Structure 1
Amino acid sequence: MHTDTERCVRAVQSKDTRFDGWFFTAVLTTRIYCRPSCPAVPPRPGNMTFYPSAAACRQAGFRACRRCRPDSSPGSPEWNHRADLTARAMRLIADGTVDREGVPGLAARLGYSTRQIERRLLAEVGAGPLALARAQRAQTARLLIETTPMPMADVAFAAGFSSVRTFNDTVREVFALSPGELRARAPRTRADRTTGPGAPTAPATAGTLSLRLPFRAPLHPDNLFGHLAATAVPGVEEWRDGAYRRTLRLPYGHGIVALAPRAGHIACRLTLADPRDLTVAISRCRRLLDLDADPAAVDDLLRADPLLAPLVDAAPGRRVPRTVDEAEFAVRAVLGQQVSTAAARTHAARLVTAHGEPVDDPEGGLSRLFPATEALAALDPERLALPRARRATLTTLVARLADGTLTLGAGSDWAPTRERLLALPGFGPWTAGVIAMRALGDPDAFLPTDLGVRRAARNLGLPATPAALTAHAAAWRPWRAYAVQYLWATDSHPINHLPDRGRTPA
């Protein structure tokens, strides 16, 4: 979009928040870059130029606006509805792959040479993988500087910098302030703390950070949080005091997150065993709640179907509830085959009790991490209270995940991964489809054989048979996963409603 100058100028002049994250405005006279909705007086069109990413702005010599904090914009939805090399690379960079494994590790995961990846990212994003990772580190550093009392040396290494000197140079270059000056300027009152996307919502305690996760409006939270709460595995997840809480398995340790819908943002409270996991934890929480989606594009297309239009108009902005751990979700999808939501939770809870690693949760009732695939691969299948065929499906899945012959993650190529899933014993279109939708993040995944989808289709006057419904749904592409959410929402199942305030019922 950044190449359409006229459209970008109109978005900046109207301060349209829908375009935050789609592109960035660089002002030639001040050498500052902003989000399109920056509250400052828009510059003259001749003084504006546009870039596809904050990293590209920095590479061109611009620094971040202190007023609109462009680095806190929602992520570009471009990288979440595509499965090509650039989109997969951007998702892996957001998940911290470059920080942990370097550019060669990123290339190895994608199956391309480092030169090919750098050339593709420069062409589409305006910056290479190192510059993109550096921009992400700068944003993490700002959060830690402004919201925690951590010493600056600890902030530097927690944000992923290799040295304090690099940390100091990067902060000065990006924000035109030293780390100490940035902390001194940080808001101190609660009113100030809740100003601007990404600002903390409460004072942080040791190991805990509270912040706001921005998104593009509208967002309808009922099915999003209702689904997560209704399927919550005891010990790993819970609904408590109006927030969805769960444990996180992260690269350097574990964490606990509480996520609650608020007007204009998602309140996020993170407790981390190792602060180096902050960037990855935020990225996975955003992915879980589908916060980088473009609801305007989705709803406009689905609204064109007169049978879907009333559902969209009644509750616009539905998101697809996803996952923080793709392998975990695949295991849970197998446990949920042909059983009720309650039965699937019971099966998962047994695995967690027997094989999950214990964690402490002073603020709630969480007690364990979901078992790692290596632990599940070593279990005795005869001890699983499952039908024999489903035991074989589960053990085959975890064996493939444990030995690396099947990989599920942010960098997965959707179509080949789906084919590999369908080749496993016991995997049919529904199981592969729901994993594609919620674990891989495919926005076009469709479930024409799902009982709830078929029942909703029949009640709305849509074709009820899977083949006919699939043919009709071709007009909903590439957003069929969102159409599924609207169809599911016609049911009175608990997944479609926010739970009552308090704990999740046993």
Structure 2
Amino acid sequence: MKRRDLDHESCYRAVQSMDRRFDGVFYTAVRTTGIYCRPSCPARTPAPGNVTFHRTTASAQAAGFRACKRCRPDATPGSPDWDVAADVAGRTMRLIADGVVDREGVGGLASRLGYTPRHLGRLLTQELGAGPLSLARAHRAQTARVLIETTDLAFTDVAFAAGFGSVRQFNETVREVYATSPSQLRGRRAGGAAAEGVIVVRLAVRAPYAGSVLLDFLRRRAVPGVELVDDTSYARTLMLPHGPATLRLTLPDVTEPSVTAFVRAELALSDLRDTSAAVERARRLLDADCDPVAVSDAFGADPVLGPLVRRTPGLRVPGHVDGNEVAIRAVLGQQVSVAGARTVAARLTHDHGAEVETGVPGLTHLFPDVAVLAALDPESLPMPRSRGRALTGLCAALADATIVLDRAADRDDVRHGLLALPGIGPWTADYISMRALGHPDVLLETDLGTRDALRRLGAPADLDTGAWRPWRSYAQAHLWHSLVHTQGDS
């Protein structure tokens, strides 16, 4: 793995200018105070000789620093570098955030990534300044702080939900990382009112954030029984490692680029151990770690995309909570309209999705499991026979883990595996890569909507879309959105 060194001079300039774009990309540790901060911390800028820079909070903690109580450096969006590079470090950070270490241990994490635990530890220490246990510990501390400050959960439940093995371990970690007790942290509670049994957390996203556009995208594709969309929020059922859950996200529009935006997430979990997994999957759906300013800078002078970016700043690539579901719905969407694909998905859900009691009118089913769909007769499905065979073949590959869509696998390997399946072509494989794997550099050039958008925008026939790298997925999102007001589906 190639080490990406932090340039001291460049990092220090970002700290001097309190540049929020670098929050979550690196952390500033101050020797004279023993604390680490986000680059935009409003405290007085330390002398350059007194600071070191770290890629992760775990690295700063391992070096003996505690989190700043003023800027709360762990309450930042994650680094967009993880999705752009998609290397072992990035894939590891995503899996740790999903709670894999808590559920499967370091051995399970290493197995998913194709390494021995010892070799993975060496790679991560070299790249991120901390091994998998330290990275997981830092993530548990962050989850615990959020739950302490934004919920009324008892501390024993907070410890359980954050992934700690004991209340004692929870107390010791909070005191060490934040130099305060859980009771003192709760004094700064900032959460809103929630229904009984619902956990409310605030998910940090980089601004600007076009929440209403993402909401419209999800509304047009919402599957009855599984998803609900109103004027301000998106709700759905989902299956997590320990049981079913419901999620509701309230999506804001934030146009000011100098602030961190927050999305309100309401989680109703059947098992508190799924808290980290639910939060991480919500963040995937929101594309929370995108750097919209970098995207805007890349496209600003482009004659095709520049006007679109200025019209809709902060546009995100819609992610998803479940890679398998994305893959199934991508097959259902082959050569049909968005409305047509939604209708078939609703029928499959009604016939084959597990019923769940959510207490939310309209949320009645889980999306069908891949093993259930794999066992169906393709000729019995409400679609052309060839597409039915493609669907059951894909589901069989997902069910036996021939193909895994959890962001741990190499993106190129996943794409090759998808293309090897009957009925899965480049459009389907790339759509899955963009929405399920969070690939930031996918353009669906054969997509009819893409072609229509480019034609309407007057793009030349020999347009070089390679100039849009490494953000072509965001170009795709802007092209689709440009069609919203001129045609019903995009």
TM over 0.5: yes
Out of 42, 52, 56, the position equivalent to 1:53 is 56
Letter of the structure 1 residue corresponding to residue 162 of structure 2: A
2:212–2:232 CA contact under 8 A, matched in 1: no
1:109 aligns with 112
Alignment of 1:331-350 (within 5 A): 331-350=328-347
Give the AA of the match of 1:391.
G
Of the three residues 192, 216, 228, the one matched with 2:218 is 228
What's the offset of the Cα at 1:205?
A: 4.0
**219, 235, 249: which is aligned to 1:259?**
249
The one-letter code of the counterpart of 1:234 is P
Distance 2:488 2:384 in 1: 27
Return the TM-score normalized by structure 2. 0.93
TM superposition shift of 1:186: 2.8
Aligned residues of 1:327 and 1:408 also touching (Cα < 8 A): yes
Q: Match of 2:32?
A: 29
Match of 1:438 among 435, 448, 462: 435
SS in 1 for 2:134: helix
1:293 to 283, 290, 296: 290
State the one-letter code of the partner of 1:349.
Answer: A
Name the aligned partner's letter for residue 218 of structure 1. Answer: P
Please name the residue that 2:326 is paired with. 329
Q: Could you tell me which amino acid in structure 1 is paired with residue 103 of structure 2? A: R
**Contact residue 98 and residue 280 of structure 2 kept, 8 A:** yes
In structure 2, what is the equivalent of residue 158 of structure 1?
161
Tell me the amino acid that sits aligned with residue 272 of structure 1.
Answer: L
Q: Distance in 1 between matches of 2:185 and 2:175?
A: 9
User: What pairs up with 1:356-367 in 2 under 5 angstroms?
Assistant: 356-367=353-364
| CA shift for structure 1 position 371 | 1.4
SS in 1 for 2:436: helix
C-alpha contact 1:377 1:399 (8 A) present in aligned 2 = yes
Partner of 1:395: 392
- TM-superposition CA deviations, 1:108-160 (whole Å, max 9, x none): 11111222211111112111111111111111112222233333223222211
2:161–2:276 CA contact under 8 A, matched in 1: no
Secondary structure, aligned partner of 1:80: helix
Q: CA deviation at 1:334?
A: 0.5
> Residue 54 of structure 1 contacts residue 71 of structure 1 at CA under 8 Å; is this kept in 2?
yes
1:93 and 2:96 aligned: yes
The reply on whether 1:175 has 2:172 as its aligned counterpart is no
Is 2:368 the partner of 1:368? no
Task: Determine which structure has greater relative contact order: mean sequence separation of CA pairs < 8 Å that are 6+ residues apart, divided by chain length.
Answer: 1
With over 3 angstroms needed to count, the CA separation of the structure-2 counterparts of 1:495 and 1:320, relative to structure 1, is farther
Render the CA deviation track for 1:343-390: whole Å, top value 9, x for unaligned: 111111111111212223334421111111122222333321111111
Cα RMSD (Å):
1.7
Instruction: Answer yes or no: is 1:71 the counterpart of 2:74.
Output: yes
Which amino acid in structure 1 is aligned with residue 90 of structure 2? A
Task: Report what 2:206 is aligned to.
Answer: 216
Q: Deviation digits for residues 275-298 of structure 1, max 9, x if unmatched?
A: 111111111111111110111222
1:122 has 2:125 as partner:
yes
2:135 maps to amino acid = L
Aligned residue number for residue 449 of structure 1: 446
Decide which moves more: 161-170 or 389-398. 161-170
Give 3-state SS (helix, strand or coil) of 2:249's partner: strand
1:364–1:18 Cα change, 3 Å:
farther
Normalised TM-score (structure 1): 0.91
Quick one: distance in 2 between partners of 1:8 and 1:494?
Answer: 46
In structure 1, the residue matched to 2:227 is 237
TM-fit CA distance, 1:495: 6.2
Unpaired stretches in structure 1, ≥5 consecutive residues: 188-192, 194-199, 497-506
2: distance between equivalents of 1:364 and 1:305?
Answer: 46
Match of 1:186 in 2: 188
Equivalent residue, structure 1, for 2:257: none
Measured in 2, the distance between the counterparts of 1:98 and 1:226 equals 35
Unaligned runs of 5+ in 2: 255-260
How big is the shift at 1:410?
Answer: 1.5
The ranges of structure 1 where at least 4 consecutive aligned residues each deviate by more than 6 angstroms after the TM superposition are none
Select which of 473, 476, 479 maps to 1:481. 473
Equivalent position to 1:136, from 133, 136, 139: 139
Contact 2:215/2:232, CA 8 A, preserved across alignment: no
Q: Is it true that 1:16 corresponds to 2:13 in the alignment?
A: no
Write out per-residue CA displacement over residues 22-81 of structure 1, whole angstroms, 9 at most, x where no aligned residue.
111111111111111123233333322211111111101111111211111100111111
Distance 2:302 2:188 in 1: 48
| Per-residue deviation, 1:490 | 1.7
Distance, in Å, in 1 between the alignment partners of 2:69 and 2:302 is: 43
- SS at structure 2 position matched to 1:257: strand
- Aligned equivalents of 2:371, 2:165: Cα separation in 1: 31
Secondary structure, counterpart of 1:247 in structure 2: strand
Using the TM superposition, give the Cα deviation of residue 2 of structure 1 relative to its aligned residue in structure 2, in angstroms: 6.8
Q: Is the 8 A contact 2:338 2:489 kept in 1?
A: no
- Opposite residue 137 of structure 1, the aligned amino acid is R
1:248 aligns with 2:238: yes
Separation (CA, whole Å) in 2 of partners of 1:395 and 1:296: 41
**8 Å CA contact 1:2, 1:50 repeated in 2:** no
Relative distance call for 1:261 and 1:150 in structure 2 (3 A) is: closer
Could you say what secondary structure the match of 1:367 adopts? coil
Q: 1:62 to 1:416 in 2, by over 3 A?
A: same
